[in-house]
Amino acid sequence: MAKKALVIVESPSKAKTIQKYLGREYIVKASVGHIKDLPKSKLGVDVKKGFEPDYQLIPSKTKVIEDLKKASEKVPVLYLATDPDREGEAIAWHINEELKARGKKVHRVLFNAITKPAIIEAMGNPQKLNSDMYHAQQARRILDRLVGYKISPLLWDKVRRGISAGRVQSVALRLIVDRETEIKAFKPEEYWSIEGTFAKDGVEFKSRFFKIDGKDPELPNRQAVDDILNAMQGASWTVASIEQKERSRKPAAPFITSRLQQEAARKLGFSAKKTMTLAQRLYEGVDLSDLGTHGLITYMRTDSVRTEPGALEAVREHIKATYGAAALPAEANVYKSRKSAQDAHEAIRPTSLEFHPERVQGFLDKDEFRLYQLIWNRFVSSQMKPAVYDLTAIDISARDKKGREQQFRTTGSVLKFAGFTAVYGESDEDDKEGSSEGGVLKLPALEEGDKVRNQGTEPAQHFTQPPPRYTDASLIRDLEEKGIGRPSTYASILSNIQDREYVEKRENKYFPSELGTVVTELLVASFPDILNSEFTSEMEDQLDGIEEGKSDWKKTLGKFWKPFEKTLEQAKKNMKNVKRQEVPTDIKCEKCQHTMVIKWGKLGSFLACSNYPECKNTQDFKKDDQGRIVIIPKEFTDKKCEKCSNPMVIKSGKFGKFLACSDYPNCKSTQPFTLGIPCPECKVGEIAQRQSRYRRLFYSCNTWPKCNFAMWDKPLNTPCPKCAFPILSEKITKRAGLMHKCVKKECGFIDVIDPDAGKAPAPEKGAEVA
């Protein structure tokens, strides 16, 4: 059978799904992402020839290209169906260049959803390759290459070889570093609050101190509080006012990429990278057995909240049938995208309301299901009526001994109509006003003018808090608000700054590393524009202008390059050399009593004797909250150096813990950090803790490569009670808690030690009264 056309997509799984939809008349192949890129070994951009890029075939894609060329020879038509964004457009252009499809018809098709109707419709309405979108991607790639390949060598020379700078990542890193600076510089200020307990007809209720003579009270210390409380003694309290009003809260728009990443981080605990990986799977297609293979969500890289009319009609019918006509607004809810939004794609939504989360749950893994359910609920709720609350505010007042009017206020709310909240739980991030009203009130029957009895007052001391450290959700929110990067790049930005060891994540919060702080300080001093969020945002706008056909990509790069080139030359001369820097301290060397200085090494800063090279003593240190130097004592082990017989000490390096000679730098011998557990394979070595290139801990034999035994989970020096294998592994999961497992999969032994380990505590139930 002669083939009609070759359809080229990016993902093999997507190719498999689309092949089922189009049938045997079509050949569907995958490029597996980009096939060309700038060379790694050189700049690859000729600045003097109009920023001409030297794109080269990615070596690992040679066989892919050969396969595509052979397939293209069998058909008269090519459909370039790579992802519908800038990166996908660039891949389509490079494939077209490589296949040299002369005499063949070449079409560009955009799949917003991987469903049979969407595929058939897109194939029936092919487009041309978009040169403006391609030039926008090319300009971004060249811009990033110029910044990265020109600044990184400076950092190699001044800080550490192998580190790098990124145009957008460096600005994101600066946000984290600046936030840490704010936190360290923060000085807590004391303030107080007063809560009163009042009663009428034997029913008590709480109220908070609110006003003095109509003004906010100033309660900076206990003395001010005592003055207020003393003046209140013996006062006669009256219900001054009762205000009741209705408040509605509208549902949030369906997801765009950034909002999906934020909500998945807050509600599901997913990193941005994990969210996008799961969303990609849901978009590309899931095998639903007898139901066939279907893409469950629309394209997941979008900043538009638009929904097509057909989908709106379908979701309104679903709401009416499932939640009743009372939950359905008279007309569809309409949401406005941001001015900077690209409106080429819809918001992220289910491709078909036929596939309810419960119906497809058995075909998804746990996290795929949770993300799909989140997307489903958000989309359905976006077309429902607002939630309605009855709000009550009760003011209780009295004249104190000084003749001032003292006022307490009790506030609360009652959910009158659930509306969209029956489907999607409220999130303060969706509405910056948040839910400031209190919880459900339990009050006696009160009317204005009623006398109430003061049962007592409770003062409470507080201190102002520093700004919180960034989480995935808050960092993405700030990147978006400041116009740094684009929604499709947030996940890679967050991954890159972690992979480069510029930040570390602890308890889901970002902490800048010493390396990240040093690099940021140097870049801010030498490249203030590059590290400026407004400058970065303006560059994003210019890239958008190229995509919209309003700007020339070469002129845009030229405007950037001329001032950048001058700044670069100045930085080469003026950037501080951290490697050669010696910061004096008042700490004495324990060996020769000379003063110690702070120097910079491969693993960061350390203390070294100023009497070097006569004295080669070094010490590790850290700084406390006040910036004072605290020496970290050497952690000796009972192991001896194989070369000099001196004791070995535990050190931390780029790839985790290791053993170093205590006589360093006279002896630079090192050994892997072992756990004292014999290797179960070779019986000769011991299991050592190591770290992968992606900073994930694993455990392997310290005689590697002689013995290649390795495992991810923490080993225990306990034999398996079922098969007698010498060790067990220890693992904590959210579902099962803390458990011990046999390392041999075929054994299957599992012992649950603590089912509650690793699980977040359940939220407290019940209402609060503000």
Cα separation, 769 vs 204, in Å, equals 12
Q: Which amino acid is at 743?
A: V
Query: Dihedral through CA 719, CA 722, CA 725, CA 728, nearest 10?
Result: -50
Task: Output the CA–CA distances (angstroms, integers) from residue 411 to 236, 392, 442, 456, 763, in the order listed.
Answer: 21, 6, 11, 19, 22
Plot region of 434 (φ>0 → left; ψ -120 to 50 → alpha; else → beta): left
3-state secondary structure of 228: helix
Question: Vertex 484, ends 483 and 487: CA angle to 5°?
Answer: 85
Distances (CA, A) of 506 to 11, 469, 496, 657: 33, 10, 16, 18
Is 299 known to be catalytic? Answer: yes
Burial of 175 (0-12, 13-18, 19+ CB in 10 A): buried
Q: Which of 469, 462, 463 is nearest to 183 (CA)?
A: 469
CA distance 312 to 523: 48
Distances (CA, A) of 315 to 197, 254, 326, 419: 48, 12, 15, 15
- Could you tell me the CA-to-CA distances from 279 to 12, 284, 488, 495 in Å, in that order? 16, 9, 12, 17
Cα 753 to its chain centre, rounded Å, is: 32
Calculate the alpha carbon distances from 44 to 83, 149, 162 in Å: 25, 10, 19
Q: Distances in Å between the alpha carbon of 372 and those of 275, 288, 353?
A: 10, 14, 12
**E strands present in 26-179:** 26-30, 36-37, 45-46, 52-53, 56-57, 77-80, 105-108
Question: What is the Cα 281 distance to its own chain's centre?
Answer: 19
Residue 350 three-state SS: strand
Chain CA centroid to CA 514, Å: 21
Looking only at the bridges linking them, the beta strands covering 710-711 and 697-701 are antiparallel
**Residue of 258, 227, 260, 491 lying closest to 376 (CA atoms):** 260
Pairing state of beta strands 105-108 and 77-80?
A: parallel
Amino acid at 561: W
Q: Which two tokens stand for residue 408?
A: 């307490």
CA torsion, points 109, 115, 120, 126, in degrees to nearest 10?
Answer: -10
Q: What single-letter amino acid sits at 374?
A: L
Sheet of 697-701: strands edge to edge? 674-678, 686-691, 697-701, 710-711
Q: 706 is written with which tokens?
A: 């002689």
Among the listed residues 21, 79, 134, 299, the single catalytic one is: 299
Nearest Cα to 138, choosing from 80, 55, 82, 208? 55
Q: Which residues contact 325 (CB under 8 A, 6 or more apart)?
A: none
Contact yes or no for 392/445 (Cβ under 8 A): no
Name residues whose C-beta falls within 8 Å of residue 277's C-beta, 6 or more positions apart in sequence: none
Query: Which residues participate in catalysis according to the annotation?
Result: 299
